[in-house]
Structure 1
Amino acid sequence: MDELSQINQFLDRIQKNWNRVRFALGAYLIATTLTGLILSAALFFYLEPASASYFVPVLLLLVLGRYLLPYFHSDSLKNMDRDQAALLAEKKYPNLKNALINSAQLGNLINDPARENIFSTAMIKELLARTRKQLSGLDANSVVENNQTTPARNLFLATLTVTLAATLFLPDFWHQAFLNGNRTANTSPTAIAGKDNQKQETSTPKQSYQVTDLELTLNFPSYTRLPSKAIKPSDGSVKSLPGTEVAIKGKADKNFNEATLVVNANDSFLMESKDNLSLMGSFIVREKGFYQFKLKDASGNQILLPKKYPVKLERDQNPRIVLFPANPKPVYYDSDKIQVFYEGSDDFGIKSIELVAQLGDKTTRKKIKNLKESEKDIQGKFTWNLALERLEPGQEVQYYLEIKDNDNISGPNKGQSEMIRFTVFDSQKERENLVRLQDELTEKMIALLATGLVEANILKTTTKDALYGKKLLASNVDALIEIIGLAQHIKNQAQEFGQFPQPYLTLLNNIISGLKTIRQEKIKAIDKIQGTLMKPTPVGYSMHPIEILNDRMVTHLEKDILFLIKITNRQKMDQVLDLESKLSELTEKLQEEFENIKNKNSPLNSNQLKSKLNQIQQTLKQLLDKLAQQNQSLPDEFLNSKSFKTMNLQEMMSSIEKVQELANQGKMEEAMEQLKKMAEELRNFAEQLNQTDSSTEELVDNQMMEQLDESMRELENLEKKQGKIINKTSEINQKLRKLQSKKFESLVKKFFEELKKDVESIRSILEEDKEYLNQHEAMKKTGKLLEKESALNQEIQSLGQKAIDSSLKDDLAENFAELNDRRRQLSDTLMELNSLRTQGFQEFKEKLPELQKKYDSLKELAELNDLNEFNLLFKNTYPEIFRWQGNLRKSRNLLEGIGDKMAADLRQVTRLNGEISKKLGSLKRSIEASDESLLSEEDKNKLKKLAQQEKNMRGKTEEMRKQFEEMNQRNPMLPPALAQSMQRAGRNLKQAEARLSQNQTQRGIESENKAMKSIQETRKVISELKSSGSRMSRQGKPQNQTRLGTGSRRDSRRGGAVRMQKEKVLLPSEDQYKVPSEFREEILDAMKKETPKNYEQLVNEYYRELVQ
C-alpha cells in the first residue's frame, strides 16, 4: 500500500541517519584510540629510562579508557532495524503513542491470510492511514541527534591537542622517541648474543686488544644551542652536560668481528666497523661513571677491555636575576601599582620569569615573561597592580622574582631575586591615629585657651611693664606654632586619605589660617615692644594692643575647640557604630549556621565554628575598648553607665565559650538559646547607641541650615534674573552690530587693506631673517654641533645604562672607560658651541616658524575682514616680539654681525606692530563712539533699566556677602569662599552697571557673564556643602550624615527605631549636666593664687562638657 511504503521510507531515512552518525562516531573513536596509543608509546620511549616512562603512558591510557569504554559498551555503534528506528521515533515524538511501531509491525501482515483470525484488514489500513497522516508533519532527520558525536569529537581533539603540545613543548619529542625505540630494539639481541657467547669464551682462548687513536665528538643538548665539539686526539675521558651525545671513533690493534660500547657495566651499545679495525659508536651522557669497549674475535669470544674511560658531569648553573623596585616603599595602598625592573642571565638560555608573592598563608604566581627564543640575557620591567589582589588592611606581603632556564634534561633550574617586603595600608588604623592627633590638638588648644583666660584677667586688673607683655606674647607665639604645625599635619593626612568631606578640611583650614594671622599680629606686637625696651616709655603707651590680641585669640580658640570636639566625637561614634555593625553581622551569620546545623542542612565543623566565635570575641573586645576610651573623655550621657556594666567583657567571653562548649557536645538547642540571649543583649546595646547617635548635637545648627537653604533659593533667583539681563543685552548688542557693519563696511575694508600691507611687511622681514640664519656659516656650524651634542647625549645615556647593567660582569671597567670618553667629547662640543656665541640666535631660529605661522594667520584674518578675531590674535602675538627683543638685548657675548642684523629687524617689526596697534585702537574708538548715535531711544532706555536691575542685584549680593562672613565667623566649617565669590559677583555687577549706563553693550556683556559665573560658583559651593557636609537638621528633613571617612553607613535593619524594645529609660533633668556659671570665675580666682593640681586635665574636662 502507499501508506505502508511512505512509513517504511520514513523509517529508512532514520536508519540512514543513524548509520551516518554511527560511522562518524566510529571514526572518531578509532582515531582517538590510535592517537592515544601512538602518543603513549612515544612518551614511553621518550622518557625511558626514567621511572616516569611507565607512569605517564599508563596514566594516559587509563584516562582514554575511562572515556572510550562506555562507547564500546553502549548501543551507539550497533546496527538498527526498522522496529528500533520506530521505537527511536516514538521516543523523540511521544504524541505518536506507539502508532508508528504498531504500523511497522502490522503493515507486513496485511497480505497474510492467517492474520484475519487476529486482526482485520480494515483496522490495519485505518492504522496505517492515521500513522501516515501523523508522519506528514514530522521530520525524520531530527529523530537522530547529531550531537551524539560531539563528546567523541571533543575527546579526539583533546587527544590531538595533547599530542601537539608534547610535540611543541618537549624538545625533539618524536626524534628522541624514535632513537630510544631503535636503541632498545638493538640492545635486546645484543644482550642475548652476549649470553650465548659467554659459553664459548671458556672453550676458546681469548685475545688481548688495544684501542687507540680515539676521537670524541660532543653533540650538546639542543637547549644549549652550542655547536658540536670535536676532541682529536683524545684520551677517551668525557666531561659534559647531561643529555650530551658522545660520538666515539677509534682503531683496534687487531681484527675483530664485532664491537660493543659498555656504559657503567650495565648498558651496551653496538658499534659500527668498516674494516674490522676501526670502530664507531655513541651514547648519551646521563650520569657520572665510565665506559669500556667489548670486542668479539674471530672465534666468537667476547673480550671486555679492562681500561675504563671516565665520564664526568658538568653542572648547568642556576639562572640569576636581580630585582630593582622603581618605587620602594614600606607601605602601599591596596590600589597602588608596583613597578619593578629586572635583569636576568643564564649560561645557556632563559625559559620564563615569574613574580612570586606571599599573601599571608597564600602564595600567588604571576607570569611576567615566557621566552620562546632562549635568550641568555634579558632586561625588562613589570607593573604589579595590587588592586587585582585580595589584600587585607595591615597585611604583610613578601614578593620576589623567580627565573627558570631551558634545561629540559635535568631541569629546569631555578633562581630567585632578593625578597621585598611591604605592608598594606590600614586605613582604619590610620584614621584612629588621626583621631588621637585631633585629641592631642584639642588638648593643646585648651591649654593655650586657659592661659589666655588667666592672662586676660591679669591684664585687665593689674599694670604690667613691656617686658612682661613681650614674654607673654612670645610664649603664645611658641604655643601657636606648635598648634598650627599639628593642625597642618592632620590636614595633610586627611587629604591623603581622600575620603574626608570638605567641611572637615574647611574647619582645619580656618583653624590654621586664623591662628596664623593671630601669630603674625603677635610677632608684630613683639617687634613694637622690642623697639621700646631700654628706651623712655612714650606717654601714650599702653598694654591695650596685647589685651586685644589676647581676647581675639581666646575668642578664636573657643570657637575652634567647640567644633573640633564636635567633629572628633562624631568620628569616635562612627567607629563604635561600625564595630557594633560588624559584631551584629557576625552574630547573625553564626545564628544562621546554628539553624542549618540544627536542621541538618550542613555538618558541624568545629574548627570553622571556633574561628567565627574567635572573630566575635576579637570584635567585641575592640568595641568595648573603644567604649572605654569614649567614656574616659565624654560626659556620662554618651553611654549609660548601667548599660556599660551589663556589657561586661568577662561575662560575654564566658557566654561565647559556653556556646562553643554546647555546640561541641551536640546540644544545639541550648547553644541556640544562649546565642539568642547574646544577640538580644547586642540588639539592646545597639538601640542605646542609636539613641545616643540620634541625640548628638548637629555640627551645623538648624538656623544656619535654614539660612543656607534660603541663600540657595536667592542665588537661584539671582541667576535667573542675570540670565534674562544677559539675553536682553545680547539682543540689543546684535542689533547694534548690524547697524555698525552697514555704516563702517567701507571703512573696515579700507582699514584691512592697510593692515595687510603691514602684516605682509612683517612676514617678509621674518622670512628674510629665517633665510639669513639658515645660510650663515656660524649658524650652520651651530646646527651640526647641536646634532652632535644630541647624539652624544643619547650615547651617554645608553652607555650609562650599559655600565649599570654590567655591574655583575667583567666588562664593567671597559664600559666606564667608554662612557668617560663620550663625556669628554660632549664637554669639548659644549665648549665649541659656547665659543661660537650663537646660542641666543639658535633659540630665536627655532621659535621663528611659530611666529611666522601666527602672522600667516593674521594675514588670512585680514583678508576675511574679521576684526574681532584679528584683534584677539594680534594681542597674543605682538608681545612675543617684545620678549625676543628683550632676550637678545640681555644676552651677553653674542656674535656681532648676526646680533646687529636681528636687532635692526626686530625694531622694524616692533614699529610695524605699533602702527597696527594704533590703527586697531582708532577703529575701535570710532566704532564705540558710534554706539551712542546708532542706539535708539528705546534701546537706551532698556539699557538704563538693565543697569538699574544690576544695581539692585548688587545690593543683594552685598547683603549675602555680609551674611556669609557672619556665618563663617559663627561656624568655621563653612568655607570663606562663599563670601569671596559674592564679593566678586558684586564687583562684576558694578562694572556691568557702569558700562550699561554708558551704553557699552559689548563690554557690559563681558561683565555680566563674569557676574553670572561668580553666582554659579557660589551655588556650587553651597550645594557641595549640603551634600557632603555635616548632618542636616532632623526637623522634617532627611539625614545626610558625614561619616568622615570612617566606613560604610549603618544597616537600619539591626537595632534602632526599627526594632525598638520596650524598656524604662532614665531621662536626665535640664540642669543635670549644666556647667555652673560661676565655674569660669572660680578658675580665674584660683589662678590668681596657685595653679591647682591636675590643672590641664580639669580644664580639658570642662571644655569637653561645655560643648556637649
Structure 2
Amino acid sequence: MTALEKLKKRLARIRFRTKAVHGAEKMALFISAIAAAVLVLPLLYAAPLRDDVVYRWLVSLSAAGLFCWLGYHWFLKPLWQCVFRRNTPSLEKSALQIGAAFPQIRDRLSNALQLMRDMPKMDEAASALAQKEFERVHQAVAGLALEKYISTEQLRRNTATAAGLLIVTLSFAFIFPNTYRDALRQLLTPYSRPAQAEYAFRVSPGDVRIVRGTSLEISASVADVQPRSMSLHVLYDGGFEETFSMQPVAGGPFRYTLENVQESGRYFLKSDGRSSESFQLDVVELPDIRQMQLRVRPPAYTKLPEMKPEPDVGLVSVLAGSEVFFSVLTNKPVREAKLLFSDHDPVILKISGEALTGKVQIRSAQQYSVYLKDSAGLENANPILWQIDIIPDQRPVVEIVRPGRDQDLDESRRVPLLVSGEDDFGFTRLDLVYSVYRSGEKERSFRERLNYVSREATLQAEYLWDLQPAGLEPEDVVVYHVELFDNDMISGPKKASSREYRLRLPSLMEIFAEAGEQQERSLENLDELAKNTEEIREDVQEILQEFRRNPELDWEDKQALRDASGKQEKILDDMQTLGEQLDEMVDRMENNELLSPEILQKYQELQELIDEIATPEMREAMRKLQEAMEKLDPENIEKALEAFQQEQEQFARNLERTINLLKQLQAEQRLEESLRIAEEMVQKQEQINDKARSESSPEQQSALADEEMKQMKRLEQLQQALKSLQEKIAELPQIRLPREQVDAAQKTAESQELMENLQEMTQALDRADQEQSAQTGQQLMQQMQQMQQNLAQAREQMQQNQQAELRQALQRGARD
C-alpha cells in the first residue's frame, strides 16, 4: 500500500469518526428534549384548560411537530450521514478541516492531496515537484496525532444532560404513575374527554396484628390528591362501630392513634365521599404470668424446714445448695416455657395446660426471668427480672477454753483441754493440730481427731492430751491449735482455727532456777514483813503506854491506831499471797517430781505455819480495837490494845519460825537440786557414750558434740547450786548439813580435769574420733558418778541428822 493510500485511509477513518461523534451529540440532544417534554407534560394537562379540546389538540399537534422536527434534525439526519453518506465531505475538505487544528500543517495537507490528484495531468518535472511536496507533508503528519482533531467534550456534556433528564423524568413517573399515564393518554388522544381522577388511598399499616392493650397509629393519604378531610371507621367483632376524625400532619398524610385496643375488627377510611378498602385488625394476647408461687427447700445438712414465700413474690434469699421449686400459672396455654438465669443454664419448665412447674438448685446469687412462647410464636413482653440472693453459711468459731494460754509442761506431760465451738448448722469433725519444735526448728507435726458433744449449734470437747508419745525432750516447744469443720456439704466444709498456743517442756535447770528465785523473793518478802511487824508492835506499845498515862485519845492517837491496824491487815493479806505463791511453786516441782518426800513434807509444814500466822485471834483483836475506839470506852480500849499487842508478839514469833524454816528448806532444796543435776548429767553422759560407740557417721557424731556442750551448761548450773548450798551451810550452821560430802562434790565439779575432759570429749565427737571419745567418755562418767555419789551421801546424812534431832526432841518432850 502506497503512502498516499495509507494517508487517504487514515483521513477517511478520521472523517467517519468525526461524523459519528457529531451524530451522537445530536441524538443526545434529541433524547434530552424528549425527556424534558415528558417531564413537563403533566403540568400542561394540570392547567384549567385541559378540558378544552382545542387546547388539547394544540398541545398534541405542537408536540408532534416538535417531535418530527427534532427527530429529523437530531436523529435521522445524523444517522443518514453516518450510514448512507460515508464519503462526504471530500477528503480534501476533511484534510483542510483537520489541518486548521494543527498550525504546522494548515492547508498543506489539503493542497498535497489536490496535487496528487492532478499529478497525471502534469509534465515530468511538475510531477517530481508534486511528489516531493507530498512526501514532505506526509512526513510532517506522520508523527502527528491527527485523531485529536476529534473532540468528545460536547458529546460528554450532552450525554450527561440526557442522562440527568432521563433519571429525573423516570423518577417522577415512578412516583406519580397515574399522573403521567393520564397525561400521555391525553397527548395521544386529544379528542377524548379527560376521565375523572381515581381516588387511590394509601393506608398504613394495612392489615395488622397488635397486642391487646397497646396503641395503633394509622396514617393515610390519597395518591395525587390532597383531601380536605378524612375519617377512620372501625367495626369491632363485637358488632359496634367507632368513627374518628383524622388530622393531617404538616401537609403530609392524615394520622390517628387508637389507644388501648382491646378487641379485633376491621377498619377503613372515608374522604370526599369515597371509601377505602377495609383492613383486618387482629388483637392478640401475649403469654403472661397470672400467678407464680415459689417453694424453697434448704440443703439437707441444715435440717431447716421448707420455706414458702407469699404468692407472686419472686425475690428470695436462700442458702447455697437450696432447691427452689417454681409453680406458674399463665393467662393462656403456651408452647414453650423456661427460666432464664444470669449465671446458670436455662431450666425448661414442664407444661400442663396453663400450669408450669420446675425446679433448680441455687449455688450462687442469680437474676432470673420467666420466658414464655405460645403456639403462634408470640413471646411474653418485658418479663420481670427477679433476684435470688445467697444467705452465707457462716464459718464456724472455735476456741480453746482450757488452758487457753501458753504454759509449761510438767513431768506427766499431760494437758487437759476444753474446747468450745459454734456454727449455724452443725459440725463434721474437730482436729487437734500440733507441731514439735526443737532448737527453733520444726521437728515433726501431728493431727488427732477429737471426740465432741454437740447440741444444736454449739460444740464442747474435753480431752486429756497425753504428750508422752511425742518423745519430747527438755526445752522442746509444742505449738498447737484446734481446727473445726462445719457440715456444709454443698460448698465443702468450712474450717475455723483457734488461736495458737505454746507448750514448753522446761529443763531441770530451769525449774530449779525458777524455784530458787521464788524462794529468794519469798525470803525477802518475809524479812520485809518482819520489819513492818516490828514497827507496828513498837507503835502499839508506845500508844498503849501513853494511853495508860492519859486515857483520853486525841485525834493523832486514833489515826495512829487506824494506820497500825491497816498495816497489820495488809501484812496478813501479803502473807496469804505469799502462801499462794509458794503453793504454786511446790505444785509445779511436785508435778515434775523434783521434791523428795521429806522436803515436800516440810513445805506442807511451812504452808501450815503461814496459815497459822494469820490467826482468827489476830483478826478478832483488830476488830475489838476498832469497836472500842468507836465507842470511846477507855477500859475496853486498854483491853483491846493489850490483846492486839499479845497477838502481834505471837505473830512475830510465828513469822520468825517461818523465815527459819524457809531458809532450811532453801538449803535442803539446793542440795536436792545439786543431786538431781548430777543424776541428769550421769544419765545424759551414759546416753552420749552409748551413741558415740554405735553411731559412726560424722553427722551423728556432730549431733552428740552438741549434746556434750549441753553437759557443760549443766555443769555450770551444778557449780552455781553447790556454791549457793555452801552459802546456806555457812549461814545456817544449826541445820547440820553434811559439809564434807558437799565439799567433795564441789571440788569435783570445779576441777580443771572435769572441764578439760568435757572439752576434749566435745572435740573428739566433732572429729568423729570414736576411740578417743570412748576413752574420755568413760573418764567423764566416773567423775560425774563420783559427784552424784557424794551428793547422795550428803542427802542421806542430812536425813539421818534430822531423824536424830526428831528423836531427841521427842525424848525431851517425854521427860518434860
TM-score of the superposed pair, with normalisation by structure 1: 0.31
* Higher helix proportion: 1
Of structures 1 and 2, the one scoring higher in RCO (CA 8 A, sep 6+) is 1
TM-score of the superposed pair, with normalisation by structure 2: 0.40
* Higher strand proportion: 2
